[in-house]
Structures are given as structure tokens and as C-alpha cells.
Chain A
């Protein structure tokens, strides 16, 4: 028998790699929240995988001491889906941002919600492409002026939570990076919830969107308890002010199950179909 493993603390899930993020970036707190949640869940780093695409937030895997997968832009969810289906024993977190997750990876977002594989999808939303230095993303306000879109895009914002609900996500929450403990509790709850769990984290970009420092004064706990009624959740999400923090929808859909047979047969058994 192996000796029982000592419980780990949040710091045991942090690597000693120095993040590339700007001082004051909200993503530092999201990293802390993830490591706190993993410690709370009493997981071992080798049994957790953190999967990401490209962008500031997608740098997170290497800053943890878990197994990490820093893939190509927009494709974190498919990589995580393949990993979780092939290795259901692992706890798989997916980290993304508003550009990576909602723009280039938008199609995968819809289908990951619909497929309902047991993943926890954490999107750090700062309404801007930070790594490429300040272009509008799908969640940027229409009048936000930038070099690429002088005077603003004139396009209405994408509503990730409504889209997640419409696409079949099983758990939908909004968190704020400025409250790492609250954020950690939501991540832990999302990991525990079976199926595809989506957490939109408001994570300010102090470099290109310094006005987002004001988010700390705008956020507030959601005034109502989570619902499992998609109709009610839709009404709430469509009418909320964008700063309700908490679990906003908690569905009961059974998670994706790979259609594997009970026992693994031999490959040679497949020959029979070809034999005359």
C-alpha cells in the first residue's frame, strides 16, 4: 500500500516560471485562484492538465506545476476534449481569453458547450487583444477606439454567457479576478460539477484598458440563487448588467460519455469481418 499523500497547498501547484504578464494584470489573480481551487479539491498536480491556446491568459499552463498543453491559437477546447475523452481519469482545465476563445475559437466554444465533455473552461475576459497590443476583441465595446478600429468597431459585443447557455453548457458562472478567493471557490465548484463548466472571469487589462481598474467598484454578487431552468437563466443573463458575480446557471445534463464497450477486445477479432 502506498502511504497516503500529504494534502498540498496552493503554492505547491505554482511553478517557479516568471509570468510574462504586465504588473497589475488580472491574470495573476486567476492563476492564484486556480492553484487555490486545486488545493481545495485535494488533487495532485500530476493528475491535472491545464490546456490553453494563444494569448496572455493562455500562458497559464506553464505557471502551474500541473501537466500543461499550450497549443495553437483558438484550439484549446478541441485539444482538451481529445485529452479528456482519451484520459477520463484526469482533471482537465482549459484556459482562454476573449480573443482566443470567442473569436478564432468561437466555433469550438459552441460545440464544447453542446458536447458537454467534463471540462472546466476558464475564460479571462478583458475585452481586448493584449498580446498583440490593443486590438478590439468580440467583447470590446463598439465605441472603443484603437489603431485597428479608429473610432470603434461599431459592432455590438458578443455575449459569451448567453451563447454558452444556448449552446448547452452545463454550468455557467461569472467571476472577478480582483476577488481571488471568490474566484477560487467558483472554479472549485465548476470542477466538481459534471459536464462542461464555463466560467467567464472579468480580468482587467491594466495596460490597454486601464479604465477596467474600475471594475472592482462595479462587480457585485448575483442577487439570486443559481437556477437549473434554462429559460429563467436566459432571462437573467439577457438582462443582467454584466457584473453579476456567481453561479448563474447549473444544469443537470449528463456529461459526454465515450461510446466504448465494456471490455477491450482484441484487434484480431476485427479480422473476422474481412475474412471470406
Chain B
């Protein structure tokens, strides 16, 4: 038994290498092994621009508590080789206390990493693998990292058994060789407390699962990074629950397919990223005018235009709020953690269905492509559903009601036929250019959202103090970590639109200073808050564009 001076409640590791080195495979196994050992964790990934192969880095954080933020510093960078790995220097911030693990046969670590002052520990990964027939250096590296953080060998082997389809014996032997390699013991994780059931899930899978929990049974799909995995997840999942997925010819088609299916009474969704959302805005306006529920999950990436397709940014607020022409009230929801990708997407489906409006869910690449160990989510709460018309002879599709929501007839219902129309219309759904009808229908569509009572779910509110941070989405994790234990209130908005000025006012009672944290260049969130909310006089903006996620120290330093 080793004597360990001080154990940690959180360790950050990166595993990098050139294409085909298997760093993602090993990274996923390490995360799973940590989960099997009772730890929480998070893995994000970074890769070069090559379609296939090319350098890649798996960035892991293992902890004894749930988290979806990366730490300020990476404790250990292990590289199978150093070819082009220097490109990740900005994404893998090292400190003098950090370790650089590399194979001396593959050269010295690049200056970009060495200048951090990190200690270099040579480990002959290739040689150790070469001593075992059919073994690969990535499995040796997995053993090295697992040993470094003190994971039990059984957990590592169990993770390997779960994911290796061939070469298992050689893989396990390589893992053991790495595990036995003597290394410093200053990055050992504390033994986690026993907890309840855990899941291993990506943000994209979580959004997809939440959508199905909310009742979605039709998805139209056009591939786009970083939403593709979400669409791919749906294909077999929908088939298993009796739904269907159509691959569309473009995003104009996918959103219109979703609207057509929803007109048919089936809760529908499509997922995309910024360029696709741009193409969908005309049809989203149709959804508003014709009052057809539909959900669009926008897995945001760096913009404008093609931007950096594989990297994160929170810069689609403007298009999500204001992209449609005319006055087009609709719902915008943003999950603020990976587990919340389940709950928030499920909720968005319910809001779209019950209010008969389009709902945009603003996830992002950071959440979407990160895999995390989370507590098994609670069962769904009360489901909000679409109010359907029953057969009658005097049906008015857009009848005036106090809530603004009118029962929707589903094709097949006798006595209620009507034409859903993007043309302005009267209560009976007949096209109208009359000022009175336009005013009445505009009022009705606005009223639906104005009368929404979102309950407690509109925001996550934590902490006390006369300073508040207002944020949303994937910044929330870093904000939480930066401000833990400090006398600062955190308000992370989940319901971005319709705005809830009364609720925010209450949440900010006693607050004298507000800092708005967002990940875009122009401060889109702050501008929106200023236009919709009453804020204290002292408001500061902490913002920068992607592609790098916020780290806690960046936020703590700016707020101190």
C-alpha cells in the first residue's frame, strides 16, 4: 500500500496523440472506469480539422462531486506521440505542478507545454506495448493514467471489457503494464462517497432523451456539426418507441417536415447548429403564425458563417430571439448543465406543445459533445400537452380564449377541418387582411406567452449576496465553481424567452451589483437583459467569444 500525502477531490487529465492513436477510445474507457469506481467526471474532446485521423485530445476531469466545468489547470498531460499535439496548448493549460507524460521514443514534449514548467516524466509506452503481442500504446497510457489517479485496476479492466470488441486480452495486459509503471503519487483522487445510480451520457444524448421523454415521436434530420450525434442518436431510439426519423435534403426541408408532422398531431423536433438555424427561421415564423408546435435544438458552435464548426460559443441568442420577420413570439430555453439537457429539452417540448409555438433549445458544442457521469435523473414531472379539438360542427381553429391557446384539430377529426396558414387569418382560419383580425391574432399569439407561468424552472438561483451573476447555458458550470462558497448570488436563466421580469426582480432583491457572464463577442445576452429586464445601476459584462470554454479562475478573477 502506497502512502499518499494528500489526495484530491478533483483531477484533470488530458490524453493526446495523432490520428489512429486511440486517445478517444482510451479517454472514454478512463471516464467509464472512474464512473464504475464511484467518481463523477467529464470528458470533452478536441481534434484537428482532418475529416478522419489527425491529432486529437481527450480532456477529462474526474471528481468526487458532479461537475460539468473544466478546471483552471490540467494536472496531467499524457501523449501517445507529440505530432501536432502542440496545437492543443491553449486548450490544455498546464502549471509548474503538472506532469507531462510522454514516450521518449517519440521525442521530447513541445516547448509550448514545457514552458509551463510542468515536470516531464518519460514513460516508454510503445516499448511496453511492444512487449505484448497485439497491444497498443493507448491501452498502456490508460493504465498509466488510471494508476496515477488511484483508480482500482478492476474498474479499468471492467471498462475495457465493456468497450473492446477485439484484442481484449492484449488490451488488458497493456493496461496492467501501464498501471504498474511507477509514477508520482500527487494526483490521487479521494475515495468517493457511495451514491445513488449514475449515468454516463453526452449532452447531445441527454437532449435527445429529454425530447423523447417530452413526447417527441418525429424527427427530421440534416447533418451538421456538432448536432449530428444528436440526430444519429434519435434514429434507433425513435424506432424503438414507435416514432420515425426522416433524413431531409436540407435544413429548409427538415424544419418544414417537422412542422408537417406536428400539424398531423405528432410532437416533432429537429436539431441543428447556427447555419441550419439561419435557414430555418422562415419556417419557424410559419410555426408561430399557424400555431404549430415544433422544437429546434440548436447545438451552438462558433459563428458567424461556417465559423469554427467543431468549437463552442453562445452567440446564437440574437437569431434565436430576433431571427424571424414580423412580431413572432416564441419560446427559447437553454439547459444549464449536462443533466439539464434532459430536463430542459423535455420541458421545451411541453412548452411548445401546450402553447402551440416553436421552441428553440440553445445547447452548445461544449455540452453536446461532452460526456459526463451524472446522477440518474428523477422521473419526469407533470407533462404539458397539446390541447386537441374534439369533433364538432362549428370549429374555429384560432378561437379567442383568455389564455390565447385554442384547441387544435388533428387531421382525422371529423367536423373540424381547417387550413393551417402562414397568411394572417381570422378565428376560423380563413385568410384575412383586415386590421381587426391582424390585431386580434397578434394579441392572441402574444398572450399565450405573456400568460405562461413557468413555475420555478425559469432559472436556477443559488447563493446569497448583494452581488449577482446572471448567466445561462454552459457558462453556468464554470460560474458555479468560481463562486462556490462566496457571498454571491447566481441566477442562471433557463427560460430565456418569454422574459420573466417579475421573477428576476424578485431573484435580485437586495442585489446592488450584477455581472453578466456570456460566451460571445458582442454581449448579446446583456443587450437582451437590458431590453427586457430592470437591472440595478451597476451592471458589468464578462464576456468573450469561443472557442475556449470559460474556466473558473477567469470568472473568479473578473469578479473579485
B220 in contact with A82 (CB, 8 Å):
yes
A218 within 8 A of B: no
B412 in contact with A72 (CB, 8 Å):
no
Please, which residues of chain A bring their CB within 8 A of the CB of B422? Answer: 70-72
Please, which residues of chain A bring their CB within 8 A of the CB of B260? Answer: 51, 69, 71, 78-84, 86
Task: Provide the bound-state CA to CA distance between A51 and B421, in Å.
Answer: 10
Task: Provide the bound-state CA to CA distance between A77 and B243, in Å.
Answer: 20
Q: Which of B62-90 touch A at CB < 8 Å? A: none
Chain A count of residues within 8 A CB distance of the other chain: 53
Given known pairs A44-B414, A72-B422, A260-B242, the reply for A276 and B36 (CB within 8 Å) is yes
A49 in contact with B252 (CB, 8 Å):
no
B534 within 8 A of A: no
Most chain B CB within a 10 A radius of its CB, from A46, A77, A84, A271: A46
| Nearest residue, chain B, Cβ from A107 | B249
Task: Provide the bound-state CA to CA distance between A163 and B59, in Å.
Answer: 50
Q: Which of B209, B217, B263 has a CB less than 8 Å from the CB of A274? A: B209
A267 within 8 A of B: yes
A72 in contact with B256 (CB, 8 Å):
yes
Task: Provide the bound-state CA to CA distance between A108 and B251, in Å.
Answer: 11
Which of A58-66, A170-178, A194-202 makes up part of the contact surface? A58-66
Task: Provide the bound-state CA to CA distance between A50 and B260, in Å.
Answer: 11
Number of A-B contacts (CB under 8 A): 192
Please, which residues of chain B bring their CB within 8 A of the CB of A55? Answer: none
Q: How far is the CB of B205 from chain A (nearest CB, A)?
A: 7
Task: Provide the bound-state CA to CA distance between A44 and B391, in Å.
Answer: 14
B244 in contact with A83 (CB, 8 Å):
no
Query: Using an 8 Å CB-CB cutoff, how does the interface string of A244-274 with B read, 1 for contact, 0 for none?
Result: 0000000000000011110111110111001
Q: How far is the CB of A266 from chain B (nearest CB, A)?
A: 7
B419 in contact with A61 (CB, 8 Å):
yes
B421 in contact with A82 (CB, 8 Å):
no
Given known pairs A82-B218, A82-B257, the reply for A260 and B243 (CB within 8 Å) is yes
Which of B121-129, B194-202, B354-362, B487-495 makes up part of the contact surface? B194-202
A82 in contact with B259 (CB, 8 Å):
yes
| Nearest residue, chain B, Cβ from A75 | B256
B192 within 8 A of A: no
Task: Provide the bound-state CA to CA distance between A260 and B431, in Å.
Answer: 37
A86 in contact with B218 (CB, 8 Å):
yes
Please, which residues of chain A bring their CB within 8 A of the CB of B9? Answer: none
Please, which residues of chain B bring their CB within 8 A of the CB of A160? Answer: none
Q: How large is the interface on B (under 10, 10 to 19, 20 to 34, 35 or more residues)?
A: 35 or more
Please, which residues of chain B bring their CB within 8 A of the CB of A264? Answer: 241-242
Task: Provide the bound-state CA to CA distance between A102 and B212, in Å.
Answer: 36
Please, which residues of chain B bring their CB within 8 A of the CB of A275? Answer: 197-199, 376
Q: How far is the CB of B28 from chain A (nearest CB, A)?
A: 13
Task: Provide the bound-state CA to CA distance between A166 and B256, in Å.
Answer: 24
Please, which residues of chain B bring their CB within 8 A of the CB of A238? Answer: none
Task: Provide the bound-state CA to CA distance between A83 and B286, in Å.
Answer: 15
Query: Using an 8 Å CB-CB cutoff, how does the interface string of A24-52 with B read, 1 for contact, 0 for none?
Result: 00000000000000000000111101110
Task: Provide the bound-state CA to CA distance between A46 and B392, in Å.
Answer: 12
Q: Which of B274-309 touch A at CB < 8 Å? A: 282-283, 285-286, 290
Please, which residues of chain A bring their CB within 8 A of the CB of B197? Answer: 275-276
Please, which residues of chain A bring their CB within 8 A of the CB of B248? Answer: 78, 111
Query: Using an 8 Å CB-CB cutoff, how does the interface string of A97-119 with B read, 1 for contact, 0 for none?
Result: 00000000001101100010000
Can you report 27 residue pairs joining A to B where beta carbons are below 8 Å apart? A51-B260, A62-B430, A66-B417, A67-B409, A67-B417, A68-B417, A68-B418, A68-B419, A69-B290, A70-B419, A71-B260, A71-B420, A71-B422, A75-B253, A78-B254, A78-B256, A81-B246, A83-B260, A85-B257, A85-B261, A86-B244, A86-B265, A87-B264, A258-B246, A267-B212, A271-B376, A276-B197
Binding site for B on A (CB under 8 A): 17, 44-47, 49-51, 61-62, 65-72, 74-75, 77-87, 89-90, 107-108, 110-111, 115, 258-261, 263-267, 269-271, 274-276
